[in-house]
Amino acid sequence: MSAKITFNAPTLSQVKGMYERSLNQILQVLRRIKCLTYGMFLITFTTLILYLVRDVMTVHLISQQASFPVRRRPGFAAAIQMEFHRECTPQQNIIFTKTHKTGSSTITNILLRYGEVHNKTQLLYKYPSSTEYKKLVPERLMTGRPTANIFAQHANFDHDFLTSHIYNTSKTFTILRSPVSQFLSAFSFFEKTALYPAETFEESIKLFFKSHGHDKYLTESWFCKNCGMLVNANSVDMGFDLEGYVKSADRDQFLSDFLEKATRTWDLVLITEYFDLSLVLLKRRFCLQFEDILYLRSLERIKKETVEEPYTLAKIAEMQKLDIALYEHFNATFWREVEKEEGIFEELAIFQKLNKQVQSFCVQGSRVGYQGTYANVLSPEGRENFQCIAMNTRCLNFIRLMEARDDTAVPRSDIPRISEDYTDPDSLNYNQIVHMDRTENVIDLAYKNRFRFNF
């Protein structure tokens, strides 16, 4: 006997009730989603407000507690600086050993700007100075300023002279470059190819080696024709005695003694191949701010010559053996110093972003400049900012303008004539070195339009 299945169709009122219950459930879900959306918006808005309050409080703390100089209008740059702030006192007195073809002109520019912005005096030569000076003597110093805070010009290093003319508690530093790379750069920049004409750059270098019996260099003779600022130039810049080395009965010991003395003399040695990292290390050790170490590339050659033959490279290394010993020694000490610095690579990443943004703000193009190098064309905003235009000024012009301004032996009647020598709109002129405002922070200006809130 089969079971009988029955199906009772719902009544109209039952269907209506089911529909209303489903609709109510859907409306409840939509209300919850709406509340969640409002909640997410409220959380996001509150977070933005908290970030804004944090930055405002950071600027307040800086202006009240910071041990380093704070700008009249602390802003984004000050907030970033606070992220990496350490209790320290900014270095007031600095001796920089300017080495050839190592990026040292960029370092000198940094120190010239640091002096101008923070009201530190430079140890200068009499107007007009010359890059040809090798020996430091009192007679060459600028009239009316026998002592100063900073020295950052080319000269063979003389520790006793400099420490007697730079105020006490000074720190000494320099920068070195891989010697083979330094030789190639110097050979090109100082136009040695004109003295040794050949079809290629490399053939010109080979001709240089063949021309003067360089096989006797540092074995029988310390003289090397046309080697100035080219061969073992960084060792000579740091005061190495070539004649004493050649005449020494134990040359290895002579070199070892020099490296040991150099380690005691220089508080910090930077490395060109790690230029930005070197600047951040300098910032930390000398208690500087990000704005102090900003830079624009200068004297960078448009046409970069190369050498490929292993024999030529080996010959260069053989002649550069003093600089190679110097470089290898201080490259090792550089990395030991970096290893001591916690968080330095995070700070490096921030600095590189800041510097790139500032470069974009200051520069709008380039042209051919001094001795076949790139010259920056400043933006209209860059020409109105001291840091931008000072960063873009060649060191020698920068120094001569300061000499003309500060040397009491320069007649004021000569100033109009001197001013006529400095009219490049992308470099400092005499009026700007005397009157231009130095307080406007270029990092704040560069980031001004990148944030909704003006901190």
Contact 119, 203 (CB under 8 A): no
Burial letters for 321-357: b for 16+ Cβ neighbours within 10 Å, e otherwise?
Answer: bbbbbbbebbeebbeebbeeeeebeebbeebeebbeb
Measured CA to CA, the distance from residue 323 to residue 265 in angstroms comes to: 17
Measured CA to CA, the distance from residue 46 to residue 24 in angstroms comes to: 32
Average pLDDT value for the chain: 85
Q: What per-residue confidence (pLDDT) applies to 61?
A: 42
> What is the percentage of the chain residues whose pLDDT exceeds 70?
80
Band (444; pLDDT cuts 50, 70, 90) = very high
Band (282; pLDDT cuts 50, 70, 90) = very high
Q: What is the mean pLDDT of residues 315-332?
A: 96
- How many CA atoms does the CB half-sphere of 308 hold within 13 Å? 1
Torsion region of 319: left, alpha or beta (phi above 0 gives left; psi -120 to 50 gives alpha):
alpha
Q: How many CB atoms lie within 10 A of CB 70?
A: 17
Q: Is the pLDDT of residue 100 over 70?
A: yes
Measured CA to CA, the distance from residue 393 to residue 63 in angstroms comes to: 31
Band (25; pLDDT cuts 50, 70, 90) = confident
Measured CA to CA, the distance from residue 263 to residue 275 in angstroms comes to: 20
Q: Is the pLDDT of residue 182 over 70?
A: yes
Q: Is the pLDDT of residue 412 over 50?
A: yes
Measured CA to CA, the distance from residue 128 to residue 213 in angstroms comes to: 38
Query: Considering only 8-22, 209-223, 253-267, 373-387, which range has the smallest mean pLDDT?
Result: 8-22
Q: How many CB atoms lie within 10 A of CB 388?
A: 26
Counting Cβ atoms within 10 Å, is residue 12 exposed (0-12), middle (13-18) or buried (19+)?
Answer: exposed
Burial letters for 72-92: b for 16+ Cβ neighbours within 10 Å, e otherwise?
Answer: eebbbbbbbbbebbeeeeebb
Q: What is the mean pLDDT of residues 278-305?
A: 88
Contact 252, 266 (CB under 8 A): no
Q: Is the pLDDT of residue 71 over 60?
A: no
Q: What per-residue confidence (pLDDT) applies to 116?
A: 96
The CA-based dihedral angle spanning residues 114, 117, 120, 123, taken in that order and rounded to the nearest 10 degrees: 60
Query: Considering only 86-90, 210-214, 274-278, 281-285, which range has the smallest mean pLDDT?
Result: 210-214
Q: What per-residue confidence (pLDDT) applies to 280?
A: 98
Contacts of 33-40 spanning 24+ positions with Cβ under 8 A:
none
Contact 245, 270 (CB under 8 A): no
The dihedral of CA 158, 162, 168, 174: what is its sign? negative
Q: What is the mean pLDDT of residues 234-247?
A: 94
Measured CA to CA, the distance from residue 98 to residue 129 in angstroms comes to: 15
Query: Considering only 214-218, 260-264, 435-439, which range has the smallest mean pLDDT?
Result: 214-218
Q: How many CB atoms lie within 10 A of CB 146?
A: 11
Band (355; pLDDT cuts 50, 70, 90) = very high
Measured CA to CA, the distance from residue 428 to residue 378 in angstroms comes to: 12
Residue 96: both structure tokens together: 């920089």
Q: What per-residue confidence (pLDDT) applies to 390?
A: 97
Q: Is the pLDDT of residue 70 over 60?
A: no
Q: What per-residue confidence (pLDDT) applies to 220?
A: 74
Band (139; pLDDT cuts 50, 70, 90) = confident
Q: What is the mean pLDDT of residues 203-231?
A: 83
Q: What per-residue confidence (pLDDT) applies to 135?
A: 82
Q: Is the pLDDT of residue 83 over 80?
A: no
Provide φ and ψ at 166, rounded to 5°. -110, 140
Higher per-residue pLDDT: 49 or 109: 109
Q: Is the pLDDT of residue 364 over 70?
A: yes
Alpha helices per DSSP H over 153-274: 159-165, 179-189, 201-211, 233-237, 242-247, 251-265
Q: Is the pLDDT of residue 388 over 60?
A: yes
Contact 270, 329 (CB under 8 A): no
Q: Is the pLDDT of residue 229 over 80?
A: yes
Query: Considering only 78-82, 243-247, 351-355, which range has the smallest mean pLDDT?
Result: 78-82
Q: What per-residue confidence (pLDDT) applies to 140?
A: 87
Contact 408, 146 (CB under 8 A): no
Q: What per-residue confidence (pLDDT) applies to 93?
A: 97
Query: Considering only 48-52, 171-175, 451-455, which range has the smallest mean pLDDT?
Result: 451-455
Q: What is the mean pLDDT of residues 353-362?
A: 95
Q: Closest Cα partner for 293 from 304, 278, 305?
A: 278
Q: Which residue is it, tokens 């640091």?
A: 114
The separation between CA 298 and the C-alpha centre of its own chain, rounded to angstroms, equals 11
Measured CA to CA, the distance from residue 11 to residue 223 in angstroms comes to: 117
Provide φ and ψ at 150, rounded to 5°. -135, 140
Q: What per-residue confidence (pLDDT) applies to 72?
A: 42
Q: What is the mean pLDDT of residues 181-190?
A: 93
Contact 133, 77 (CB under 8 A): no
Q: How many CB atoms lie within 10 A of CB 13?
A: 8
Query: Considering only 64-68, 120-124, 337-341, 403-407, which range has the smallest mean pLDDT?
Result: 64-68
Q: What per-residue confidence (pLDDT) applies to 64?
A: 44
Measured CA to CA, the distance from residue 157 to residue 262 in angstroms comes to: 11
Q: Is the pLDDT of residue 146 over 60?
A: yes
Query: Considering only 95-104, 152-161, 444-453, which range has the smallest mean pLDDT?
Result: 444-453
